[in-house]
Amino acid sequence: MHKWLVRAVFAVLCGNAASAQSNDPTGIWITGDGRSHISVRACGPNYCGTVVRLADPYEADGEPKRDTENPDPAKRNRPLIGMRILHDMAQVPGEARLEGRIYNPEDGKEYAGSMVIRGNQLEVEGCVFIVICQSQTWTRMK
């Protein structure tokens, strides 16, 4: 009986550890269109995401792609690779979702964002006025 109890407790503890690990968003994610790789990591108590690879990183003139659509002229010259696009993604208490802000360099706007991990996929959603939303499924790199 004692061995059975030890095994049961061990199984529960291992199951909880695996579950916690599967909900960990840290790692490299390939965006839904496959054009970008985003590194998600802990930034203080929350998470952030940075562009680490682009399928097409250079303009026609050979220069790195930059944040040309940013409404702030002072930021339009910063390269897309190395740019943080996920900001302050915090765990929603009691839910398997993180919420924060998402910057879209294609239009230079920041949106309310959320992320939900489903196995090796990350559902990323950006919303304007809460009701107008666009989502994309990212895949974890192995």
**Which pLDDT value is given to residue 23?**
82
CATH architecture of 24-140: Beta Barrel (2.40)
How many C-alpha atoms does 29 have within 13 Å on its Cβ side?
Answer: 29
Q: Return the percentage of the chain with pLDDT > 70, whole number.
A: 85
Stretches in the chain below the pLDDT threshold 50: 1-21
The predicted model scores a pTM of: 0.82
**Which pLDDT value is given to residue 2?**
39
